[in-house]
Structure 1
Amino acid sequence: MSTTQKSPKALLFVDYIPAELRENRRWEIIYYAIDPFETNPEKKLKRKRHRVKPMDNKTERRKLAKRIINNINSKLTQGWTPFLNEKNVKAFSRIFDVFEIFLNQTQQQYKKEVIRKDTLRSYRSYINNFKIFLNSIDKSEIFINDLTEEIYRDFLDDIFFERDNSATTHNNYLTFLRTFTRWLIKRKYLAVDISQNITKLKTGEKKRTIIPLEIRNSIFKELKKENFNYFILCYTAFYCLTRRTEITKLKVKDVFLKNGIISIPSEVSKNGKSQIVTIPTELLKYLVIHLRKANNEDYFFSENNFAPGPIQLKPKKISDTWVRFRKLMKFDSKYQWYSLKDTGITNYLQLGLPTIDVKNQARHHSIVQTEAYIPKKIMKAVGNIQSAKLDF
């Protein structure tokens, strides 16, 4: 429970006094919270202060203060108290600001020959991709104390599944996150290691989880009944082998129903190249329905319940919706949304389609990447080698 600002000594039965900004010579955010280690009931609530860093623009400084106040008050309503983490004095630093501090210190280490140039280059790349991911899930303005294990896991899933990278790449990113987290703890931005429970993947051949026909039919049948737009989105991933982030950026004008193709512009494509994918007839009939009232500038799938619309869909919503349906239908958690694309590639190869055609549909960088999807059970011995006699 909360109350208006009064003397804390008179408030013996409240849990906190909300944060407020005081613009004096030093701008400070003041609030009162429970100190669980205090035995004197007269001092149940103790004052906490957070300095608002100076900025040239007062309006922007007030906006920053407001975000910090909202963050503090939200935590206070849930029973949080800062006195459990007394030494964590930098918790309300903006994450993008902390990235810059980390990279600046890393740059200094390189100049002093503490780290190699390759390490500096790698750290910059990891941070840049982390920024892109945080922007994609609308978390670019969060504070360091909002950084969680869940965000780390979602980022690593994006690297491994969405970007179709190897287990080695996943593990390299995890190693970096652990390094970054230790740096945060040493410099009092975080109090606990949020990376410690995340384990590395086994390296080697990347495992593909294929959704069996019976389960796949059940999933599509249920999706078609419960959310037709989302069903079409999943069908598009299955048949056109489109990636999650790509789907959220595609617009109606990129779909050419008469030609039976979808154009993936360079600014949408993972590899930065404009490419074309074919729309199979089985999918085409549903896209005709999906796009019948859409405008060219609409997003192919939007925030409006996955229907075409003017507001861009967030990638995470695709995965979150899949998880909800998975729990509702109670099918195995190993079948993730990314499994639709893996299953589509594998099924095309099992049909005997030329590997080069499947490579182009999946937009893989090489034929070797596509061949990794070929099921061992459909591989056959080479006839002339099998019949060869080498005893001469």
Structure 2
Amino acid sequence: MCSKIQGSNVSKLVGYTYPKLHKGKEWYVDFYALDPATDTMRRKKYSISTEFRVAERNRRATEIINVVSSKLMKGWNPWVQTDNSRAYVLFEDCLERYLDYVDRMDRKKTRQSYHSRVNVLKEYIATRTTPFKYAYQFDESFCNDFIDWIFLDRESSPRTRNNYRGWLYGFSEFMVARKYIANNPVEKIKVMPENGEKFRKDLTPEMLKTMTKYLTEHDKSFLLACLMQYYTLIRPGELSNLKIGDISLKNQTIFVSKTFSKNHRDADVGLNKIIIKLMLDLDIFKSTSDCYIFSHDFKPGKEHVGSDQFNKRWKTMRNALKWSDCYQFYSLKDSGIRDLANSEGVVVARDQARHRDISTTNRYIQKHDVQPGTLNFEGNMVYEKPKAKDDAKDK
């Protein structure tokens, strides 16, 4: 047992194991290589067709082993698609190098601004579930997710979002010039219009009903996330941190801790009866209290999953419904505030959203009791448990 553990540690230190031929009903060559993104040894397999004669299979296996062994010894990694010799430079080192460059700039205001943006970028990296360690991971997908996070999770204006895009473009040029990456991943990210009108639009009552029907039939776990966004008005970054133990069925509330809330204050938020109804249908409360409500695949689990999963699943649904890009996951909050204010009054909506008072924009409103109007407000996303097929036939 001890020798196996030591062997595994040595393999991880080297970064790979040598390819090996396996014979049986299936012939294949496999080996393990370190995936820098997850810091684990992952298995790579090459199958050899059993249609070949035994001699031909052995010949092909020998060729695969020789070629793969040579590539591995030269630094090739099957999990990293790059020819850049600096691809494995730690991203943290890239940032430190960049800040050294920034500190030599003339204008103090520019230096402070760029330092602030780097801190925000680090904050975003800390929210990701997939480890982010190396320069090669700084790609278009990462940059897109970061810009979305700035605009949606941080509730930034289009101008702020565009300013971050501009800074990220410049930082990417720095990365390219120093051979950390081959191309600028921000080039294809478009600038958002800043004509005073919000790019993000709220959803019409008809759209909300269409979405609820679609998700009830195809993705009830994500429907719960959408109901939470619409009724509780809790931000995506906060939703990702909520645990089952934060729910009080007796008080019909959910607790948002100051450790992850945007305003850094504890709050009890009203939990609508429609949300509780779906939670019971999904057997949410059969999981232990320390489980995150939205772990992998939007199901309860012990592992924290970042808020970017909300936007990714939303895009899948949005494409299926053929909606415009202006309708985003955060549109549910806009729609919820609108509908709650129309139904129960603007004060109830303000308190449920934990918004700042207009006359004191720099000060968050103080802690308040849960407004009864939020608990039975129906709005336009009424979830109804599907009837059993047998019941439908009887009718």
Which whole-Å CA distance do the structure 1 matches of 2:174 and 2:304 have between them? 35
* More off after superposition, 136-145 vs 170-179: 136-145
Which whole-Å CA distance do the structure 2 matches of 1:184 and 1:292 have between them? 47
Is this contact kept in 2: 1:359–1:367, CA < 8 A?
no
Task: Please state how far the C-alpha of 1:247 moved relative to its aligned partner.
Answer: 0.9
Is this contact kept in 2: 1:161–1:338, CA < 8 A?
yes
Cα distance, 1:125–1:313 mapped onto 2, change above 3 Å: same
Question: For residues 187-245 of structure 1, what are the alpha-carbon distances to aligned partners after superposition, in whole Å with 9 as ceiling and x for unaligned?
Answer: 22233222223232222343441112222112111212223222112111110011112
Which whole-Å CA distance do the structure 1 matches of 2:139 and 2:179 have between them? 16
Tell me whether 1:292 sits opposite 2:285 in the alignment: yes
Tell me whether 1:92 sits opposite 2:88 in the alignment: yes
Choose from 205, 208, 212 the match for 1:220: 212
Is this contact kept in 2: 1:250–1:268, CA < 8 A?
no
Q: For residues 320-359 of structure 1, what are the structure 2 equivalents within 5 Å? A: 320-351=312-343, 353-354=345-346, 356-359=347-350
Partner of 1:279: 271
Larger RCO (CA within 8 A; separation ≥ 6): 2
Gaps in structure 2 of 5+ consecutive residues: 1-17, 20-30, 35-69, 362-395
Cα distance, 1:288–1:193 mapped onto 2, change above 3 Å: same
Q: CA RMSD in A?
A: 3.1
Task: Please state how far the C-alpha of 1:177 moved relative to its aligned partner.
Answer: 0.6
Task: Please state how far the C-alpha of 1:310 moved relative to its aligned partner.
Answer: 1.6
Task: Please state how far the C-alpha of 1:357 moved relative to its aligned partner.
Answer: 2.5
Is this contact kept in 1: 2:149–2:308, CA < 8 A?
no
One-letter amino acid matched to 2:90: R
Q: Secondary structure at the match of 1:249?
A: coil
Cα distance, 1:159–1:272 mapped onto 2, change above 3 Å: same
Partner of 1:74: 79
Cα distance, 1:115–1:271 mapped onto 2, change above 3 Å: farther
Question: For residues 252-277 of structure 1, what are the alpha-carbon distances to aligned partners after superposition, in whole Å with 9 as ceiling and x for unaligned?
Answer: 12111211211110012122221222
Q: For residues 303-314 of structure 1, what are the structure 2 equivalents within 5 Å? A: 303=296, 305-314=297-306
Is this contact kept in 2: 1:348–1:358, CA < 8 A?
yes
Cα distance, 1:207–1:334 mapped onto 2, change above 3 Å: closer
Q: Secondary structure at the match of 2:268?
A: strand
Is this contact kept in 2: 1:249–1:268, CA < 8 A?
yes
TM-score where L is the length of structure 2 = 0.67
Question: For residues 40-98 of structure 1, what are the alpha-carbon distances to aligned partners after superposition, in whole Å with 9 as ceiling and x for unaligned?
Answer: xxxxxxx99999xxxxxxxxxxxxxxxx75xx33356xxx6x3xxxxx55333121221
Q: Secondary structure at the match of 1:73?
A: coil
Partner of 1:198: 189
How many residue pairs match? The answer is 297
Cα distance, 1:279–1:140 mapped onto 2, change above 3 Å: same
Which whole-Å CA distance do the structure 2 matches of 1:96 and 1:248 have between them? 25
Q: For residues 1-392 of structure 1, what are the structure 2 equivalents within 5 Å? A: 69=76, 72-75=77-80, 82=83, 89-107=85-103, 109=104, 114-203=105-194, 204-290=196-282, 291-303=284-296, 305-351=297-343, 353-354=345-346, 356-367=347-358
Q: Secondary structure at the match of 1:319?
A: helix
Cα distance, 1:181–1:352 mapped onto 2, change above 3 Å: same
Cα distance, 1:330–1:172 mapped onto 2, change above 3 Å: closer
Q: Secondary structure at the match of 1:150?
A: helix
One-letter amino acid matched to 2:102: T
Q: Secondary structure at the match of 2:298?
A: coil
Gaps in structure 1 of 5+ consecutive residues: 6-17, 22-46, 52-67, 83-87, 370-392
Cα distance, 1:350–1:92 mapped onto 2, change above 3 Å: same
Cα distance, 1:195–1:292 mapped onto 2, change above 3 Å: closer
Which whole-Å CA distance do the structure 2 matches of 1:289 and 1:19 have between them? 42
Percent identical among aligned pairs is 28
Task: Please state how far the C-alpha of 1:105 moved relative to its aligned partner.
Answer: 2.7
